[in-house]
Structure 1
Amino acid sequence: MSQGADRVWSVSEHLANILGQLAPLDPIELQLLDAQGCVLVEDVTVPVALPPFENSSMDGYAVRVADTRAAAPEHPAVLEVIGDVAAGSGVLPTVGPGQAARIMTGAPIPPGAEAVVPVEWTDGGAGSGRATAMTAHSVDPSGAAGEVRVHQPATAGQFVRARGSDAAAGDLALAAGTVLGPPQIGLLAAVGRGTVTVRPRPRVVVLSTGSELVEPDEELAPGRIHDSNSYALTAAARAAGAIAYRVGAVADEVETLRATIEDQLIRADVIVTSGGVSVGAYDVVKEALSSLGDSFGDDAGSAAGFVQFRELAMQPGKPQGFGRIGPDRTPLLALPGNPVSAYVSFELFVRPVIRTLMGVGAVHREVVRARCSAAIDRSPEGKRQFLRGHYDHATGTVTPVGGAASHLVKALAHADALIVVSEAVTSVAAGTEVDVVLLD
């Protein structure tokens, strides 16, 4: 495959060329909360049974089964309450024949007890003149505490969480390759892991170029527009799993752009620009980055020191740039400036880069086949077209949203899928099956 920029690249060629130059980031050890969203690089086993002891799943009374076997509302079993057991209790009373221990949720099952009777099945100790709210603050670990009437029989193991019922010692808790979300972080804490070895989330720096761009909360002067690309792309990078930093819009000045990118290299695993990659007189990104040479710490002419700009057989998003710059050969992806073109390009190229650096298995978005509910009258021959659409999971259909124009931000905001029309197809009849990239 030619590496030249003087030909038209397919979408697949461009993506393969990018990903072929990348590898997952090196593992690091992080504190649990810092590891959220990262990919585990080691198998984690359970060192001690979880839970580590039998405990109660209800507030109630720990009892022997034989003592409640004949219990009924009209003939309750009357048991001596010998003490209270709260969560965290260390010294436990022994439950003998005709006895019970008041117990809280999560508290260890005392010796001699075989089941827990919920407080709702009892009189709550009212018959002893000692009925109180069943809370940890009402426990009384001292000796005899009156009696309780039990109105229903208990069965062995009832409302008792067995030792190791969640996980046995030596079980695999989490396998390498797992993305750590809140439940996984909770499991790691439960098995006693305060740190974990993961691949870090990539740091992605996003910037827009264009002297016409102003911040969203600034008043628009004639010829100016609000910068939406850097916000959309930063949000997209975060949604993909990255730590994303947004840089304010950079004016159409070559040296300013170069200086801005050089300043950002220290905190970037990936740099993403939008705008300035076509053939216009002010396409500053292309001018600034086509031959960086040793201005970024590389030998002039080396593959690491410049960004190659290409024309792709796709719509939207024909002009694209990719290269590796700086002493750490940081990947830089230069996307077109039209909002839809930039976002579609992110989904097709930048998101897979982020996922590759993270080391996750699912690098690409899910693609499904769906019936197109409306006709697509025109699609450019020889180009792969990506139209915005709404996918109906219940019916397996997709409906185009908005037109093909690459400035339709509102239509993009109401789409949750991309309808793919292949290079050989110039129109799609209603009801035809098409490939659909699911964005949601």
Structure 2
Amino acid sequence: MRTFVEHQRAVRELLAPLHSSLEAAEGAEVLALDAVSGPHGRVRAHGRVLAHDVIAPGDLPAFANSQMDGYAVASADLAAARPEQPVELPVGRTTAAGDPIRTHARGTASPVMTGAALPHGADAVVPVEAADPPRFRGLGGSAHDVQPGTTARFAHPVAAGTFVRAIGTDVARGAVLLPAGARLGPAQLGTLAAAGITEVAVRRRITVLLLSTGHELRAAGAPLEPGQIHDANTPMLRAALDEAGALVRDTLTPDDPEAVVDALEGSAGLVDLVITTGGVSAGAFEVVRDALAARGVEFVSVAIQPGGPQGLGRVILSPGTAGVPVVTFPGNPVSALVSFELFLRPVLRAFAGLAPDRPRAHLKLAHAVNSPIGKHQVRRGVIDGDGAVEVGAPSSHLLHAYANATVLVHLPVGIDALPAGALVDVWRIDD
């Protein structure tokens, strides 16, 4: 048997060439920042990963502007200001956000609003609440002209640059605005928009064929005959793959090796990776094993529970091609999802520029547990009010219990029993 760490390594090595191709320039996709998709208008670039460095086309800020509502002044005019002998200055013309850059007259105080351009000749801003009076007076109806004779007094000197956002202090022209590999979240999209950038090159998303097998499977909502069940694997793994940054094409096939081969061949040139569920054990109708064992997929036993039967390899779907990587999981839904968590989720999320690993912790067991000594057992559990882990039953058909779990509990090889209070490794799955 392989250890689960050995199988993790084998999956990473199988998919390493795919990672390289996604990082290559030819794998880039250009997206407009204002392009949206889906019923809720989701920005298509959101969550994607930059294929190249984005260079700042100009300075941010592009002009010196005020950090406060206050008075733009020449700092030299307030050098002698003291509480006992304030400096009184006539109030000049106001600059609001969006106004053109004005010229400041020495020996005056020019009202300036937050974000407004600092007038030429001024080098500092005094907040209005630090002046006397601590509010603007005498502003005309347009908020630009000031009534003649309006003055403001200042009791303290001010250093040049005070409350001024200088040109290029966020980013300078020609600097790297965002590096290749950066994931585009809200702040990154806002930064690109602020720089006037309308489109970016992002890494192409990996495309996966999700092939669920089983003569007994029917789509959700379909009527069931005796012996049939609704397919849980397809919606479950489709969602997991989407969270890992992949695009998914999915299909159901019966227990017919030709149907499995036809589904794979029909996806030639359309997908980067094939994931199958079911048909990999030692039974009489192991359709995936029957279809792919002679086509380059290796089927192995991994010392884990659930999810022991696994397979991986590269299958040639059309002559002259390098083949597509195939990863096969057991058909039991709990086994399939645990297998995805252990072997594929970290790899695919790394491809997508996402944090690959689940949050992890060492917590105490709330009660004693048993485990098969020769296998790494992954149990589902919850954290109680004292921070200890309550571990659920091990049976791999308990999908409802998995749905209510908040952690995966790892019981390593060589352990057959642990008492209450023993420390165990847990992965948080309640994000």
| Range into which the TM-score falls when normalised by the shorter chain | 0.7 to 0.9
- 1:333: Cα distance to partner? 1.3
- 1:125: Cα distance to partner? 5.2
Tell me the equivalent position of 1:423.
Answer: 413
In structure 1, the residue corresponding to 2:269 is in which secondary structure?
A: helix
State the TM-score, normalized to the length of structure 1: 0.77
For residues 388-412 of structure 1, the C-alpha deviation after alignment (integer angstroms, 9 at most, x for no partner) is 13358x97x5513421111222221
What is the rounded CA distance, in whole Å, between the counterparts of 1:117 and 1:38 in structure 2?
42
One-letter code aligned to 1:434: V
Tell me the equivalent position of 1:9.
Answer: 2
What is the rounded CA distance, in whole Å, between the counterparts of 2:152 and 2:253 in structure 1?
76
Call closer, same or farther: CA 1:266–1:111 in 2, change over 3 Å. Answer: same
Comparing 208-217 with 10-19, greater Cα deviation is found at: 208-217
Comparing 415-424 with 193-202, greater Cα deviation is found at: 193-202
State the TM-score, normalized to the length of structure 2: 0.79
Call closer, same or farther: CA 1:385–1:147 in 2, change over 3 Å. Answer: farther
Task: Please say if residues 242 and 248 of structure 2, whose CA atoms lie closer than 8 Å, have aligned partners that are also in contact.
Answer: no
Call closer, same or farther: CA 1:67–1:427 in 2, change over 3 Å. Answer: same
2:376 to 363, 384, 395: 384
- 1:9: Cα distance to partner? 2.2
Tell me the equivalent position of 2:93.
Answer: 82
- 1:369: Cα distance to partner? 3.1
Tell me the equivalent position of 2:364.
Answer: 371
One-letter code aligned to 1:372: L
What is the rounded CA distance, in whole Å, between the counterparts of 2:4 and 2:67 in structure 1?
56
What is the rounded CA distance, in whole Å, between the counterparts of 2:12 and 2:109 in structure 1?
69
Alignment of 1:388-399 (within 5 A): 388-390=380-382, 397-399=387-389
What is the rounded CA distance, in whole Å, between the counterparts of 2:274 and 2:291 in structure 1?
14
What is the rounded CA distance, in whole Å, between the counterparts of 2:401 and 2:171 in structure 1?
48
Tell me the equivalent position of 1:259.
Answer: 262
2:253 to 245, 250, 274: 250
What is the rounded CA distance, in whole Å, between the counterparts of 2:29 and 2:184 in structure 1?
13
What is the rounded CA distance, in whole Å, between the counterparts of 1:83 and 1:253 in structure 2?
79
2:11 to 18, 34, 41: 18
Comparing 225-234 with 366-375, greater Cα deviation is found at: 366-375
Task: Please say if residues 68 and 152 of structure 1, whose CA atoms lie closer than 8 Å, have aligned partners that are also in contact.
Answer: no
Please state if 1:112 is matched with 2:121. Answer: yes
What is the rounded CA distance, in whole Å, between the counterparts of 1:222 and 1:170 in structure 2?
68
Name structure 2 gaps, 5 residues minimum: 34-43
- 1:81: Cα distance to partner? 3.9
One-letter code aligned to 2:104: T
What is the rounded CA distance, in whole Å, between the counterparts of 1:187 and 1:267 in structure 2?
34
Aligned length: 402
Call closer, same or farther: CA 1:123–1:433 in 2, change over 3 Å. Answer: closer
- 1:362: Cα distance to partner? 5.7
What is the rounded CA distance, in whole Å, between the counterparts of 1:146 and 1:235 in structure 2?
68
- 1:425: Cα distance to partner? 0.8
What is the rounded CA distance, in whole Å, between the counterparts of 2:325 and 2:48 in structure 1?
20
What is the rounded CA distance, in whole Å, between the counterparts of 2:107 and 2:79 in structure 1?
11
What is the rounded CA distance, in whole Å, between the counterparts of 1:285 and 1:148 in structure 2?
86
- 1:424: Cα distance to partner? 0.8
- 1:346: Cα distance to partner? 0.3
What is the rounded CA distance, in whole Å, between the counterparts of 2:129 and 2:52 in structure 1?
46
What is the rounded CA distance, in whole Å, between the counterparts of 1:223 and 1:427 in structure 2?
37
2:290 to 271, 276, 287: 287
- 1:163: Cα distance to partner? 2.3
What is the rounded CA distance, in whole Å, between the counterparts of 1:111 and 1:127 in structure 2?
22
In structure 2, the residue corresponding to 1:20 is in which secondary structure?
A: helix
Call closer, same or farther: CA 1:55–1:248 in 2, change over 3 Å. Answer: same
Call closer, same or farther: CA 1:362–1:167 in 2, change over 3 Å. Answer: same
- 1:276: Cα distance to partner? 2.2
- 1:344: Cα distance to partner? 0.5
1:184 to 185, 188, 195: 188
Call closer, same or farther: CA 1:83–1:177 in 2, change over 3 Å. Answer: closer
Task: Please say if residues 271 and 332 of structure 1, whose CA atoms lie closer than 8 Å, have aligned partners that are also in contact.
Answer: yes
One-letter code aligned to 2:327: L
What is the rounded CA distance, in whole Å, between the counterparts of 1:151 and 1:375 in structure 2?
75
What is the rounded CA distance, in whole Å, between the counterparts of 1:232 and 1:346 in structure 2?
11
Name structure 1 gaps, 5 residues minimum: 1-7, 132-137, 292-304
For residues 105-130 of structure 1, the C-alpha deviation after alignment (integer angstroms, 9 at most, x for no partner) is 322111133444556676865545x3
Please state if 1:338 is matched with 2:347. Answer: no
What is the rounded CA distance, in whole Å, between the counterparts of 1:252 and 1:53 in structure 2?
68
In structure 2, the residue corresponding to 1:9 is in which secondary structure?
A: coil
